[in-house]
Amino acid sequence: MDILQLEAWEQQAARMAVEREAAQEVLRQDRVAVIAGEEALDDADEAQCITQAIAEAVQREAHDRIAGIVSHCLAAVFDDPYEFRILFEQARGRTEARLVFVREGMEINPIDSSGGGVVDVAAFALRLSCLLLSRPAVRRLVVMDEPMKFVSADKRARVRAMLTSLATEFGVQFPMVTHINELRCGHVVEIDPA
């Protein structure tokens, strides 16, 4: 074997040793990065769980407060009233709320399956709940133009009693324009159309 060839192999072995050390350093750094990535993923998963728990708590609180007001108003006007619920569902990567009535465990679409009077009362109650839950608090005033026009005549006295009760209980004013005499309550101002 000749000396030149031996020197060439030594140089090649030295280069390969340097390359091996560099590859081992890259491997070590990659392993450190994988561990750091796994820790970051664990932290992100934990943060997501915390965020979801907070979101669910906020949704439950919102549901309980809003549905409580709406169900209370429905019960004040109707015998065997619907229960009002807000169903929170994940769709298209976000949470959506679906409003439903429930009776005897059956979900009922408010628009398609119940009378207009029920929808009138529920819509009024939703407006009221938005007012009562506003932060910062706003003036407690719900202005209405021909409200509850689809509530049947035999339920209008109950609507009047509900409005009077809500005004007292929550300190809300309900100025309204109406031609339905049975809904008149509180301070009545009549305007002669002539």
Query: What residues contact 142, with CB distance under 8 A and at least 6 apart?
Result: 124, 127, 128, 131, 172, 173, 174
Instruction: Kindly report the CATH class assigned to 48-183.
Output: alpha beta
- Contact between residue 55 and residue 95 where contact means Cβ atoms under 8 Å apart: yes
- Quote the CA–CA distance of 143 and 132 in Å, as a whole number: 14
In the sheet that holds 94-103, the strands lie side by side as: 83-91, 94-103, 106-108
Give the pLDDT score at 194. Answer: 67
Least confident residue range of 92-96, 136-140, 156-160, 177-181: 92-96
Q: What is the pLDDT of residues 4-47, one digit of tens each?
A: 888 888 888 889 988 999 999 999 999 999 999 999 999 999 99
Place of tokens 């324009």: 177
Predicted TM-score (pTM) of this structure: 0.72
Q: Where residue 141 falls among pLDDT bands split at 50, 70, 90? A: very high
How far apart (Å, rounded) are the C-alpha atoms in residues 42 and 22? 30
